[in-house]
Each structure stands twice: as C-alpha cells, then as structure tokens.
Structure 1
C-alpha cells in the first residue's frame, strides 16, 4: 500500500486532470524555455534585463516550469502535508486556466516586445497567483498546528504566500514601466522582484514541502523543528533586507540560512534508511550545492565585484542551478507517486516502483541538465556563444528525455490490470489445478 503521512490511495485526491495538467505544462515549458535560451545565446552574457528572448526564457522557467510545478504538486500534496482539505476543487482549475495561457502570452510578449500581450499575460499570471494564495491560505487555516511535523510546513507556506502579493505587484509594475517608463531605477526593482520570486515565493514554498518530501523519499525522520524555524527566520530577514534594497546584507543573512538548511539536509541524508535514491537525488544534491553558490554570487554582485557577465551567471545559478535542479529531482519522484495513487483510485492494481521506473532515461535527463548548466555557465563567463547554445540545447534534450519518460509512465499506468483481477490458474500434467 502506498501511503504518505497516513494517506491511503484514493483519499484526499484531486481529479487526476488537475495536477497533471500543471505538471504536463511544466515539462513542455521546460523544453520551450531551454530552446528560447539557445536562441538568445548571442545576447545572453550581456543581458541588460530588458525585453527579449533571454527574459522570455527566464520567465518560461520561473513561471512556466517552477510555478506550474509548484501549483500542480502543491494542490495535491498540500492536503497530505498539513492534513487539511482544500476548500474546493474549482479554484484549482481556474488557476490553471489563468496561469498556463498567461505564461505563454507573457513569454511571447517579452520575446517580441508586444506590450498589449505583456499586459494580458501578466494580468492572467497575477490572478492565477492570487487564486493559488487564497486556496492555500484557506487550507492552512484548517491545519492542525498542534502536530510538530505540520508546524514547519505551515510556517514556510504562510511566509511564501506573504511574498505572493509583493511578487505580483512588482511584476505588474515592471511590465507597466516598459510601456510608460515611470520607474527611476528599473534594474533595482527588477532585482527585488527576482529575489522575492525566487528566494521568497518559490524558495520558501519548496523549503516547506522539502520538510515532508525528503524524509518521505529517503525514509528518515524529519529535521529538528528548532533548526527549521531558525532557517526560516533568517530567510525572512534576508528577504526583508532585499526588499529594502540592502542586497549585500540580504545576501549575507540569506547565505547563513542556506548553509544551515543544506547542513540539515546533509544530516538527513546520512541518517536515511533508503540507500539507493536514484538520479532524483543527484539533482536534489546539486541544488543544495548551488543554493549557497547563488547567494555568494549575489553578494559579489551587490558589492560590484563581478564583471558584466555577473547578473546572467547569478540568474543561471539561482533559477537553473538551485530551483530547477530541485524541482526536476522532486518531479522524478512525484510523477510516479501521483500516477500510482491515481491508478489505485481508478481501480487498477497498485504498481511496484520497479514497474514505474525508467532509470536510464532519468539518469540521461539528469546528466543533460548538469551539462546544460556547465555549458551555459562557461559560455556566459567566457563569452562563447557556441558554448551557451550547446549548453541550452543539452537542457532542451534533457527536457525532451523527461517528456519521453512521462509518456512512458502514462502508458505503463494504462497497462496495469484491474486491482481485483484473478491470476490465471495453471494446470498440472495430471489435469489438477496448480498454483
């Protein structure tokens, strides 16, 4: 029986179409995002933060991949993590109808400089974030915070939701500035927006679910609540400093939080019961290395100690290195888990993990992701257009491999027999029934 936190297959499950539409879109945007970055290779190293393919590619990753995956997995896993049901199902559908076409419109508007399309896409994405925040907030109010394993998750998610309003407001302000030019310092506002989006909303959301998912997948007890609270407090303090424009101080405080978080996760890995964690934890461990690395680069940027390629390398390390590696690693585990429990609810036999895995292709995907980060990073630093393009195309190939895995998983689930199907009875040579 597959169960998480007391959840049996079929309980607290959304209709399968809701989480999987978000996750399928995330895989598709992953492919399109790397392709856009490959096309932007000539300008990526010196990107100035204006409109263009490189900005479209960044938002395809942050909104199309990371946010879509967070919503899809979050809507389904949240009731499990906090043992409280969502208030309703229809807002989850509404969020998908707003977010997914909104990301496509926003990215196309950024790539082409189409200002009306920017406004339409940005407004749709902001509304989707608002719907997500309301749904998650209502569920959090029902959470039983007397249980110690639930309290850290709830605190992280409340902090993440607190960033949503600032994220949406800053994003819409930046989009409006492209049309009307009312900001005196567009770059500073963009830097705050990036920090609130990645370290705030996405980072805190991921850190909250990590408190449940890493112990579940690695078969280990949760981290001490006091340590988790300390990390969260430092992270929030760093975000407040970033919001005030004190980027150097924010990077120092955030680096302290990141190092404590990574140290705690490393401790869990040493105590785990499950030894073979597959390719998923190669990506997750990579993300734990690149989280503090991104903050070191952020500190150097704040102190003006990096050359012109510094902002592009920082964005790559933050978005592609930390967040994307973490989300891809988690999706390698979440996709078969969700597929299995939805198959169980549909009356099919609960599959073994070996029946759902496609180990080689997932190792290929992880290797291509690492090659993409290395190639694009080296190309940015050395100003080599060919290396940037080759790295981004490796990322696109890895995205394609993940899509192939997801299709194969879907076909495997479809081939499972009904749960109550009787095994065929063999006959012995004497004609009697045998086992």
Structure 2
C-alpha cells in the first residue's frame, strides 16, 4: 500500500540537505572517540565515553537525518507544509548540533552544568520542531499507514526527549531515579516508538519506490505503529508500577512487532523486480539481517533474563540493532534520497527545455559500493571488539570513523555535482533565452 506523492510541495533542497551533510560528521566523532578511549569503552554500556559515543550516533547521526527527512517528506507525503522550512531547518540543525556536542562533552568530562545545558538546549530545539510539525499536521487526515506512522512517530519523539531530559537532569543534579529502568525505557521509546515507527512509515514509500518491490500489505502496515506504541505504553506502565515480569512481556511485544516488520520487508526484497543489488539494497539486506538477529536476542533475553547479564551481550545487541540495523537502513535511504532530490530539483530547473542528468551522474554506484564494504568491515570489527576489546577496540573505532567520513565525502561529492549541473543548466537556459 503506497501513499500518493506531491513533489510540487517539496521544500528547498537546502532544508533537508544541511541535516544530511552534518550527520556523518557526528558518526566520525563517535568512531574517533572509540579509537581514543580504546578497550575501556567496551567495559560496560554505562561508561562515560560509551554514553557519549552512543548519543553522538543516536542524536548526532540518526536524529539529524530523521528530522531532515521529515522536513522533506511531510509536505510531499502528507500535504503538511511547514512554515518557513529553510529557516526552521537552520535553527533546528544548529540547536541540535550544539546540544549533542554539549551532551557528549558532559558525559565525557563528567560536567553536571554542561549536561544541564545540553538537556535544556536539546529539549527546546525539539520542542520547537514538534510545535512546527504538529501545527502543519493539524487537520491532515490519516488516509494512509505512512501518515498515521508519521504522526505516531512524532509522539514517540516527544516521549523519548522527555525521558532523556529527565535522565540528563537527574544525573546532573543527583536526583534519586531508577536509572537502569528509565534508561532502558528511554532507549525503547527512542528506537521503537520514534526511530522504528518512523522507519516503517518511510519504508512504506521508499522501499517500493527505490527498490522496485511490491507495496507493503495494507493490514500489517496499518497495524505495526499502534502495536509498537501499545507495547511501549505497557512497558512504561510496568516501569511505573515496578513489575519486572510485565517489562519482559512488553519487551517481547516490542521485539515481535519489529520482527514481523523486518521479515515482511525481507520478503518484499527477495521478490523485487530489480535483479542486480545496488548499494541501497546491500545496506537494507545488512540492516534486516542485523535487526532480525538483535530482535531475536531481545526476545530471548525477555524469556531468559539471565542471558542479558552475559559478558558482551548488551554491547553486541546495541551494536547490531543501532549500527547494523538503523544506520544501515538510514545510509541505504540516503544513497537514494540525496541523488533523487538533486535530480528532482535539476529537472525542475530545466523547465523542460534541456535534459537533466540522471541520478547515477550525481552519485555513482562504484563509490557507494566501496563505502558499503568499508562500513561492513567496521561493523564486523565493532562486534568482534565487544569480545576482544584489547586488540580490536581502536582499529574498530578508526574503521568506523573512516566509513562515516567516506559517507560524508560521497554525499558532499553528490552535492558538488548537483551545483555544477545547476550552474550549467542555468547557463544553457540563459544562452537559449539570449538566442531567442
């Protein structure tokens, strides 16, 4: 089931683009932090540098790209036109970037005042973004699973930011909080209620469009977002009343919903009409394999909680789900969305008087395939480093920084070519006008 797209409502290219070009730089910083910290960062998921690197990825990379993608997709898919999208993009991009740097610095150096400042800056920035997007969505009916998913994802973002602010302020001010339970709930809402639901809502559009698959079946598409939300609400109640058994049932529900979506997407990919796998398909195959494995780990730990205490279990789970799953999906979509948007804006600029370059002329397949191999190598090293940190922590961090930097270079090169073609089209149109 696919939504109708209205590309004439697309915002200026610069609005989402600034998020797409900023995000890989935070992934580079995360990789360098792992390389500098070395084996100590793999000692526990609670190490200061581990928390800093985690938020450089989840906020600096994932959230940047997801907010930028929403600025693009809300008017095109839902007809929800944002007021002054370029101005909002600039303010949110700057506020988010500054807040993430403060948060990572607060964790790394253990500075309570910096953590407080980060929580306030990030909270205000996301509040502004939510106010603008929700205002645009008022009155927009949920006529497709994508629109419903987008609305629920924004609700999930509000919850995860609220929990994040509570945790950051609690750490900074020494509040007595159930930190472990709240942190797990914060992560669950961030990866399930926000990133997971948003990923599904966008996949309903971009997977059939860019990977030439059949559309998602209607019934599972409509059911996935509310089922995920239901499981997360149950998890929240379980934490509130301190019922560990209900937490485990909720975890099993979250994992089951994610597995159904992943298996359904894998089935569509296996039946797709394009025989040759490009970089986007490779990234999605990697993401589906890693996500399925991670969600099976979550399901198993929900049934047998002692497994989650095994050495390396939490780290491997996090690496597979976040870096292997979500980042792979996001990078795969970037490799289609950026050249597609460049082509779309160039085609509009030609005014049908001169041909626009194809997407492959903007971002070539060989460059993407080479970066994909670098990313797979980095992911394998990071998983192995969870078991042999003394030998592999620093090489894994460097490999990840290189793969992320390579991603930035590919995207930057695509934009450079876009600008060159844009100038060339403008010159040709001017020459035709002068000759007329």
TM interval, shorter chain, is 0.7 to 0.9
Change in Cα spacing, 1:339 to 1:320, as seen in structure 2 (3 Å) is same
What residue in structure 1 maps to residue 341 of structure 2?
338
Does 1:124 pair with 2:121?
A: yes
Q: Superposed, which structure 2 residues align to 1:34-53 within 5 Å?
A: 34-50=31-47, 52-53=48-49
What residue in structure 1 maps to residue 242 of structure 2?
none
What residue in structure 1 maps to residue 111 of structure 2?
114
Q: Superposed, which structure 2 residues align to 1:408-419 within 5 Å?
A: 408-416=413-421, 417-418=424-425
Change in Cα spacing, 1:76 to 1:305, as seen in structure 2 (3 Å) is same
Higher relative contact order (CA 8 A, sep 6+): 2
Does 1:355 pair with 2:351?
A: no
The Cα shift of 1:5 comes to: 4.3
Contact 1:60 1:103 in 2 (8 A): yes
Q: Superposed, which structure 2 residues align to 1:168-187 within 5 Å?
A: 168-187=161-180
Q: Which is further off, 243-252 or 188-197?
A: 243-252
Consecutive unaligned residues in structure 2, runs of 5 or more: 240-245, 432-436
More helix by share: 2
| Aligned counterparts of 1:174 and 1:225: Cα–Cα separation in 2 | 38
Contact 1:46 1:312 in 2 (8 A): no
Contact 1:130 1:164 in 2 (8 A): no
SS of equivalent residue, structure 1 residue 274? coil
Does 1:192 pair with 2:222?
A: no
What residue in structure 2 maps to residue 82 of structure 1?
78
| Aligned counterparts of 2:34 and 2:212: Cα–Cα separation in 1 | 37
| Aligned counterparts of 2:142 and 2:224: Cα–Cα separation in 1 | 19
Deviations 1:311-367 (A, max 9, x none): 222221221121111111111111111222233445585221221232222112211
| Aligned counterparts of 1:398 and 1:100: Cα–Cα separation in 2 | 21
Deviations 1:56-109 (A, max 9, x none): 111010000000000112101221122332244233333223212111221122
SS of equivalent residue, structure 1 residue 28? helix
| Aligned counterparts of 1:242 and 1:370: Cα–Cα separation in 2 | 33
What residue in structure 1 maps to residue 207 of structure 2?
214
**TM-score scaled by structure 1?**
0.88
Change in Cα spacing, 1:165 to 1:403, as seen in structure 2 (3 Å) is closer
Change in Cα spacing, 1:305 to 1:95, as seen in structure 2 (3 Å) is same
Deviations 1:155-214 (A, max 9, x none): 212221222232122111111222232234211111111111111111111111111111
| Aligned counterparts of 2:426 and 2:4: Cα–Cα separation in 1 | 23
Contact 2:142 2:148 in 1 (8 A): no
SS of equivalent residue, structure 2 residue 140? coil
Contact 1:22 1:96 in 2 (8 A): yes
| Aligned counterparts of 1:184 and 1:76: Cα–Cα separation in 2 | 38
Contact 2:113 2:172 in 1 (8 A): no
SS of equivalent residue, structure 1 residue 84? coil
| Aligned counterparts of 2:332 and 2:390: Cα–Cα separation in 1 | 28
The Cα shift of 1:297 comes to: 2.5
Q: Which of 210, 230, 237 pairs up with 1:237?
A: 230
**TM-score scaled by structure 2?**
0.88
Deviations 1:103-133 (A, max 9, x none): 1221122211122121112211122222222
The Cα shift of 1:420 comes to: 8.2
| Aligned counterparts of 2:141 and 2:252: Cα–Cα separation in 1 | 34
| Aligned counterparts of 1:242 and 1:102: Cα–Cα separation in 2 | 28
Q: Which of 64, 69, 73 pairs up with 1:68?
A: 64
| Aligned counterparts of 1:264 and 1:222: Cα–Cα separation in 2 | 11
Q: Which is further off, 223-232 or 18-27?
A: 223-232
Q: Which is further off, 186-195 or 338-347?
A: 338-347
Does 1:313 pair with 2:321?
A: no
Contact 2:290 2:324 in 1 (8 A): yes
What residue in structure 2 maps to residue 26 of structure 1?
23
Does 1:404 pair with 2:409?
A: yes
What residue in structure 2 maps to residue 250 of structure 1?
250
